[in-house]
Chain A
């Protein structure tokens, strides 16, 4: 077994369990003295946790660091929400997937913790704001438990992110590797001395800066403790000389970083790991991403190689250890969010490739080593993406496909560098910053160190809004009409008329988004500031304001998920074809068939006619044009609104796995969807309807203006392994991706698995424990997905090389 295989085996030998240490210390520190400002209480808790938490070192670990008391254990973050913990505590061990063990004797303490935090959490605060502003409109899940577990506005948009931290950030690793933490602390101290006492925000700023210093002291202490532990282990007389040397190297590095700037590749990688893990200790927000690791680590790699103290095998091994360390970190979520996000993913994203600020390719030797490391580790976490475009050599595309084949689980995903730059420019980012973009979370595009992000306030169910337009503003599920249509659906004479009705619903519902955003943003800033995180990004010390405050010179972007485009376009195209062009059925007849869920004799015939109409993903200009038109509407409308945190509302068409839930609240629709059936994921064609092959899917997607949504979108394509079974075919697929991106495509990710494999995995999950699949913006263990999603993956069209 290789070291990587041994580490994987060791991590997977642990069953995920709940670790109480963080929750305990945060509860004590935050509730001890209410007179102390919250930001200081949180900083003290952070520091004390880092000074006291259990540290461990795996037998084969080269890089050190951990977030909870054992691999795959998840800490509690009671400051964000406790209601769900209390409600679900006895179900954690019984979940069908994402099971967590509650350690013996912990139950009482957890309940006590929940009791202490009751009415003091972020969730309670957001709940208060929402109730006091839009309380009359909030709606729970249906009586049968279907649909969104979280509150929604007449099922058109659901509020998911008020139980966790906000996350969604890429630190300035370039700057941090250049200086280490000591100069950052020094800057904070200097800033403190410069504060004007008559500044109306004097106290707020002073407390924040003090909290930054305390937090960074905690980080330095943590590194020191890891070094102590490594040296303590070395005392073991039975340990081999080689292992002692490995641990000594780690200990030496941790005596230096993150306090001081690193000198070697090893030290730099160890420093990135420590910072990355500590951010996830301070808050449990997800999508904490690492930015362009191959670019910012390259100078260290080059120097060490030239000095003869590092070779490529060692480099690859260290990268593999890094990837596995990210896999070790785990998160416990409420079941509703677990369903929506498809598991316990932390969406830690690493970006490779891309271009320099000068517009030249940034691909280097380390980029290739990283891809090889990814192929060797083949775990679903963390996420690795490649940024490829005009400047990228074809060999890099091919190397990425090679890694994809070896990984077998959908990574790396391909992102178009050029479109990402366009997205940033549209959002007002400077050109050189734009070229320095990196992926964050699933598909979001950000400038590392400079971008602040407001976490998604809502998920907009675009297809549901079309349903409302068809029923003249009424939600047939709830019977509730909030925005009666001005004209009747039955009177429409063209697709444009129907789009107008749809827009009318949007105009009514979209203004809820800033109301919800304000409630969430205010609470994050007031109750759960993150001074450690703030110290790792630009401008916050100068401003003396927490990153959750937003504003300032940072680029700010609040994510709005709006999804369901392929179904919506298909529905409109089907009405166009069947009603307006063929005049086979009237709108009344189609609507009646929908109301009967296509179950009558005529309904069956209507559905057949609707299904025969052109579908998105086949390079059909009519339906693609409808999708293009739809795609423009929401980003344009959202420009009117400004988030509390500043900047803009940036849209994304990705669904995570919300398309399953979204489908549950929608009845039968003109695209042929039956009541409660799930929607197509992301921008992927509706499963089984893309009959023209990959290039047709690419061409359809490329007709959309992807730069309108700077939080990106996703296209899933599943390849049978035979489609990629020779270097020639890999080259052709690489060329196809390059052509797709030249036409304006933004993103594509592939699953290289066979249908037989997936069916077999359903039958014998034990035998397929390690089968990784890409389901939305991320990869997951296939057997851990819910059955309906497993079925969805099986249903997705498979591009087989045979005919």
Chain B
């Protein structure tokens, strides 16, 4: 069985227990306007170009048989509908500034990559984290990987937006040691406005995971979206009702902005300023943390 990924990151020290390998699935069913991994959104592979390395020599445009790559007004553009990922432009680029984001990989090959760092998981209590994109969008592939990890004795975690059908949740849950799940807003309308989907399935997913798995809920704190004490308070109250215990607030950052340029896409939150841990901690102080919730602020 094959899945669509865009990156495998080894030696991750940030996402969960111990030393971890992160498997990034390609394709997402939400479009959060602040997303720092824009290359994760489309399931299809797509052309990306490191803007700072590009000399605008135009060789890529010359060789593109689909005319999917072109220059207009001195800047580089790609037409994703036309691009067939043939890679001819990559071969020609003298600066190696171009790459194709996304690749298909056999489940067994993913497992082989995961097992390469088995000794580090063993030493540190780490394991694998399936992230994205939204990993549950490739449900069968994900289940296959999780089963194989169980067989190999690799501890598993998932990073999900929770926008997952209920029947898949119940299959995933017994194969997961840790669930890291996002909730962005308590109001379904505002949630849809900023992420392209409402929060109903996510709410149910949190309720389910919180009852069955070790679960950490993450709230990305985003300026103009959910950074008022009232909105945060609503979120915390909701999470307490759902039975969540661990909550982590992630301050908005702008590390992903250059990726939009590389993908020739507009960044919709361009005006927002990066938040500091201290900003979010101050915001948190203006709320009342409901009983049973543990809330922390982390840099991500």
- Distance (whole angstroms) from the CB of A461 to the closest CB of chain B: 28
Q: B123–A738 contact, CB under 8 A?
A: yes
Given known contacts A693-B9, A801-B13, is B123 in contact with A735 (CB within 8 Å)? yes
Interface-facing stretch out of A334-342, A567-575, A694-702 = A694-702
Q: A736–B14 contact, CB under 8 A?
A: no
Within 8 A of A (CB), among B104-128: 116-117, 119-120, 122-124, 126
Q: A739–B11 contact, CB under 8 A?
A: no
Tell which of B122, B123, B126 has the most Cβ of chain A within 10 Å. Answer: B123
Q: Tell me if B279 counts as interface (CB < 8 A to partner A).
A: no
- Distance (whole angstroms) from the CB of A155 to the closest CB of chain B: 31
Within 8 A of A (CB), among B1-30: 7, 9-11, 13-14, 18-19
- Distance (whole angstroms) from the CB of B48 to the closest CB of chain A: 15
- Distance (whole angstroms) from the CB of B194 to the closest CB of chain A: 22
Q: Tell me if A303 counts as interface (CB < 8 A to partner B).
A: no
Q: B10–A735 contact, CB under 8 A?
A: no
Secondary structure call for the A interface:
helix
- Distance (whole angstroms) from the CB of B156 to the closest CB of chain A: 18
Docked CA distance A608–B89 (Å): 13
Given known contacts A608-B91, A739-B120, is B13 in contact with A733 (CB within 8 Å)? yes
Tell which of A729, A739, A801 has the most Cβ of chain B within 10 Å. Answer: A739
Q: Tell me if A294 counts as interface (CB < 8 A to partner B).
A: no
Q: A729–B10 contact, CB under 8 A?
A: no
- Distance (whole angstroms) from the CB of B38 to the closest CB of chain A: 13
Docked CA distance A695–B124 (Å): 13
Q: Tell me if B94 counts as interface (CB < 8 A to partner A).
A: yes
Q: B119–A696 contact, CB under 8 A?
A: no
Q: A696–B10 contact, CB under 8 A?
A: yes
- Distance (whole angstroms) from the CB of B99 to the closest CB of chain A: 11
Q: A742–B13 contact, CB under 8 A?
A: no
Q: B18–A735 contact, CB under 8 A?
A: yes
Among B91, B94, B96, B122, point to the contact of A739 (Cβ < 8 A): B122
Tell which of B7, B37, B116 has the most Cβ of chain A within 10 Å. Answer: B116
Within 8 A of A (CB), among B238-288: 255
Q: How many residues of B contact A (CB 8 A)?
A: 21
Docked CA distance A497–B160 (Å): 51
Given known contacts A695-B117, A732-B19, is B13 in contact with A723 (CB within 8 Å)? yes
Chain A residues with CB under 8 Å of B7's CB are: 803
Docked CA distance A720–B145 (Å): 32
Docked CA distance A763–B22 (Å): 37
Q: B119–A692 contact, CB under 8 A?
A: no
Docked CA distance A229–B13 (Å): 55
Within 8 A of B (CB), among A609-636: 611, 619
Q: A735–B13 contact, CB under 8 A?
A: no
Q: How many residues of A contact B (CB 8 A)?
A: 27
Chain B residues with CB under 8 Å of A728's CB are: 13
Q: Tell me if A759 counts as interface (CB < 8 A to partner B).
A: no
Contact pattern, A 745-779, Cβ under 8 Å of B = 1, otherwise 0: 00000000000000000000000000000000000
Q: B11–A799 contact, CB under 8 A?
A: yes
Q: A801–B123 contact, CB under 8 A?
A: no
Q: Tell me if A743 counts as interface (CB < 8 A to partner B).
A: yes
Given known contacts A608-B91, A802-B255, is B10 in contact with A736 (CB within 8 Å)? no
- Distance (whole angstroms) from the CB of A695 to the closest CB of chain B: 5
Q: Tell me if A675 counts as interface (CB < 8 A to partner B).
A: no
Among B19, B94, B255, point to the contact of A695 (Cβ < 8 A): B19
Chain B residues with CB under 8 Å of A799's CB are: 11
Q: A729–B13 contact, CB under 8 A?
A: yes
Q: B123–A739 contact, CB under 8 A?
A: yes
Q: A694–B123 contact, CB under 8 A?
A: no
- Distance (whole angstroms) from the CB of A398 to the closest CB of chain B: 12
Chain A residues with CB under 8 Å of B37's CB are: 803
With CB as the reference atom, state the residue of chain B lying closest to A607.
B94
Q: A692–B10 contact, CB under 8 A?
A: yes
Q: B13–A739 contact, CB under 8 A?
A: no
Among B10, B18, B255, point to the contact of A693 (Cβ < 8 A): B10
Q: A696–B116 contact, CB under 8 A?
A: yes
- Distance (whole angstroms) from the CB of B150 to the closest CB of chain A: 22
- Distance (whole angstroms) from the CB of A755 to the closest CB of chain B: 13
Among A695, A729, A731, point to the contact of B120 (Cβ < 8 A): A695
Among A692, A699, A742, A801, point to the contact of B14 (Cβ < 8 A): A801
With CB as the reference atom, state the residue of chain B lying closest to A608.
B91
Docked CA distance A100–B216 (Å): 61
With CB as the reference atom, state the residue of chain A lying closest to B19.
A732
With CB as the reference atom, state the residue of chain B lying closest to A800.
B255
- Distance (whole angstroms) from the CB of B252 to the closest CB of chain A: 14
Contact pattern, A 327-360, Cβ under 8 Å of B = 1, otherwise 0: 0000000000000000000000000000000000
Q: Tell me if A179 counts as interface (CB < 8 A to partner B).
A: no
Docked CA distance A692–B11 (Å): 9
Chain B residues with CB under 8 Å of A694's CB are: 10-11
Contact pattern, A 792-803, Cβ under 8 Å of B = 1, otherwise 0: 000000010111
Chain A residues with CB under 8 Å of B119's CB are: 739, 742-743
Tell which of A611, A694, A728, A803 has the most Cβ of chain B within 10 Å. Answer: A803
- Distance (whole angstroms) from the CB of B126 to the closest CB of chain A: 8
- Distance (whole angstroms) from the CB of A4 to the closest CB of chain B: 32
Tell which of B19, B94, B119, B122 has the most Cβ of chain A within 10 Å. Answer: B119
Q: Tell me if A604 counts as interface (CB < 8 A to partner B).
A: yes
Tell which of A604, A799, A802 has the most Cβ of chain B within 10 Å. Answer: A802
Given known contacts A619-B116, A736-B19, A802-B255, is B123 in contact with A695 (CB within 8 Å)? no
Given known contacts A604-B94, A738-B123, is B117 in contact with A803 (CB within 8 Å)? no
With CB as the reference atom, state the residue of chain B lying closest to A697.
B11
Docked CA distance A739–B123 (Å): 6
With CB as the reference atom, state the residue of chain B lying closest to A696.
B10
- A-B contacts, 30 listed (Cβ < 8 Å): A611-B96, A692-B10, A693-B9, A694-B10, A694-B11, A695-B19, A695-B117, A696-B116, A699-B116, A728-B13, A729-B13, A732-B13, A732-B124, A735-B18, A735-B19, A735-B120, A735-B124, A736-B120, A736-B123, A736-B124, A738-B123, A739-B119, A739-B122, A739-B123, A742-B123, A799-B11, A801-B14, A802-B255, A803-B7, A803-B37
